[in-house]
Amino acid sequence: MGGLTVMRALKARLPNECFVYLGDTARLPYGTKSADTVTRYAVQASAALMRYDIKLLVVACNTASAAALPTLLQTLAPLPVVGVIEPGAEAAVAAAPDGPIAVIATEGTVKGGAYVRAIQAIAPHMPVVQQACPLFVALAEEGMRDGPIAELAAHHYLDPLLATMPRPRGLVLGCTHFPMLKDTIARIAGPDVALVDSAETTAATVEKILQERDLLHTGVMMQSRFLATDAPGRFAHLGEIFLGEPIDPGAVTLVDL
């Protein structure tokens, strides 16, 4: 579901493109699974999308980007494959060039250290602190983006993180679900902490690649397609919250990976 926040940014930046979105609703969440399992799932999902003659693949999940991107780049070459980690790291360093930078993400992304590596590849001496926030995924999917429960969960995760010294100047929303709780997170983090959402930076990266390869679609805007591995009706209902526009339940195809 969370990857729809990335699709939202892509649609805003590339309004004429045709998007095929696959939500692996049967096997979520990815954030608590092993890297090997996530990689296997990502390979299966990408194979399903390749049947639609795609020209570029966006891995719209931080956990899958961290675990599976090297494998996907190798197995799908020469198809361009874009993850959300590197664009997010670039945005974080730009937003808080003097650091420190804090990262909130799923357990899998935090344990893998992908954001730490990506940020320090750009700024080698940048201090990076991390915090897994697994409850945020469930809250986002239940539509509990604000209110006392979201507030308590945010304090639980963010208070110790923001108490580290020196205090973080940038906070990466290292899971595509987390932008749904952005207002609550921003309120607790305070105005002196820059929040970084990798979706817009990812969309800019995709646009650049399409331009460089002369792959931009300049014709009439085309209708998006949606695939789900379970409960297509629920996907359409919840997906509207993440995508920011209605999803026709009839436009969601049930697929078996």
Give the position of tokens 């729809």.
4
Do residues 54 and 81 make contact, with C-beta atoms less than 8 angstroms apart?
no
Q: Which of 152, 227, 142, 231 is nearest to 188 (CA)?
A: 152
Query: To the nearest 10°, the Cα dihedral for 176, 181, 185, 186?
Result: 100
**Which residues, 6 or more positions from 77, have their beta carbon under 8 angstroms from its beta carbon?**
none
Q: From the candidates 175, 189, 206, 236, give the one annotated as an active-site residue.
A: 175
Cα angle 160-163-166, degrees, rounded to a multiple of 5 = 140
Query: What does the alpha-carbon distance between residue 73 and residue 7 come to, in Å, rounded to a whole number?
Result: 20
* Peptide bond before residue 29 is cis, with ω within 30 degrees of 0: yes
Residue 133 is a catalytic residue = no
Q: From the candidates 61, 68, 85, 255, give the one annotated as an active-site residue.
A: 61
Return the axis-axis angle of helices 232-243 and 3-13, rounded to nearest 10°.
50
Strand partners, 198: none
Residue 61 is a catalytic residue = yes
Active site residues: 61, 175
